Amino acid sequence: MIGDLRLEIEERKNELKTERKILMATQKNTNYKLLFTILLALVLSISMYSFASAQGPAPTDDEVNAIAKKLFCPVCENTPLDVCPTEACRQWREQIRQMLIEGKTEDEIIQYFIDTYGARASGDPPNKIASYLIPVTAIFLGTALLLRALQMWKKPKAAESAIPAGEAKQVHQDEYFNKLEDELKKRK
């Protein structure tokens, strides 16, 4: 009986040792999983930080508005993008902000909007010389025509006859015309 008891105790010790080894192995696996998770989170956070810092700091509203001031609203005519309250302009300003975050220059952003939405998006006309020369020329021509018209209105030319005065022939007058003149002379 004592021998059976010792045998049972030994078996129980072996079972406990086995359970302890399993528990230790499970704890090691859990510790490795926890360590792996922490390292993965650390690597991801470092990579996100380096990605964010590579893009540069977020642009201020002044930087966005400096570019938006040079562009015009696609909906409202002759309204600069920086002061327009429409939803389309708000989206354009956010797009400018995103492009600045990506590291694009002011000229690249303006050129993108011109390429995408046409020359109307930019405040600068495509052909500056023609856009300034045409109105100035029209003003000068209009002024010259107006002065000429005023001059002609003030001093009308004397009516010129097709036949010179010395060569004019007496036109035969009608009887009716002669009677009318006689009647008018009598009344006086």
* pLDDT tens, per residue, the chain with 188 residues: 677 777 777 888 788 778 777 766 666 667 677 777 887 777 778 877 665 554 557 788 888 888 888 888 777 777 888 888 888 888 888 988 999 998 888 889 888 888 888 777 777 666 777 777 888 898 999 999 999 888 888 876 655 555 555 555 555 567 888 888 888 888 86
- pLDDT for 142 equals 92
Ramachandran angles phi, psi of 73, nearest 5°:
-60, 135
What Cα–Cα distance (Å) separates residue 10 from each residue in 5, 52, 60, 75, 106? 9, 62, 76, 90, 83
- pLDDT for 187 equals 82
The answer to the question of residue 120 being in a domain is yes
Q: Are residues 65 and 146 both part of a single domain? A: yes
Q: Are residues 39 and 118 both part of a single domain? A: no
Which two tokens mark 117?
A: 């939405």
Q: Are residues 67 and 136 both part of a single domain? A: yes
Q: What is the pTM of this model?
A: 0.42
- pLDDT for 28 equals 64
**What is the number of domains present in the chain?**
2
Q: Are residues 142 and 63 both part of a single domain? A: yes
- pLDDT for 54 equals 47
The answer to the question of residue 159 being in a domain is no
Q: Which residue has 């105790």 as its token pair?
A: 9
- pLDDT for 25 equals 66
Q: Are residues 93 and 136 both part of a single domain? A: yes
CA trace torsion 35, 41, 42, 47 (10° rounding): 150
Closest CA to 57 of 102, 96, 106, 94: 102
Which two tokens mark 174?
A: 């009608």
- pLDDT for 70 equals 85
Q: Which domain range does residue 92 map to?
A: 57-150
- pLDDT for 50 equals 60
| Residue 93 CB neighbours (<10 A) | 19
Q: Are residues 25 and 64 both part of a single domain? A: no
* Separation of alpha carbons 1 and 7, rounded Å: 10
Q: Are residues 51 and 64 both part of a single domain? A: no
- pLDDT for 143 equals 93
Q: Is 8 exposed, middle or buried (0-12, 13-18, 19+ CB in 10 A)?
A: exposed
Whether the Cβ atoms of residue 89 and residue 83 lie closer than 8 Å to each other: no
- pLDDT for 139 equals 93
* Separation of alpha carbons 176 and 147, rounded Å: 47
- pLDDT for 165 equals 55
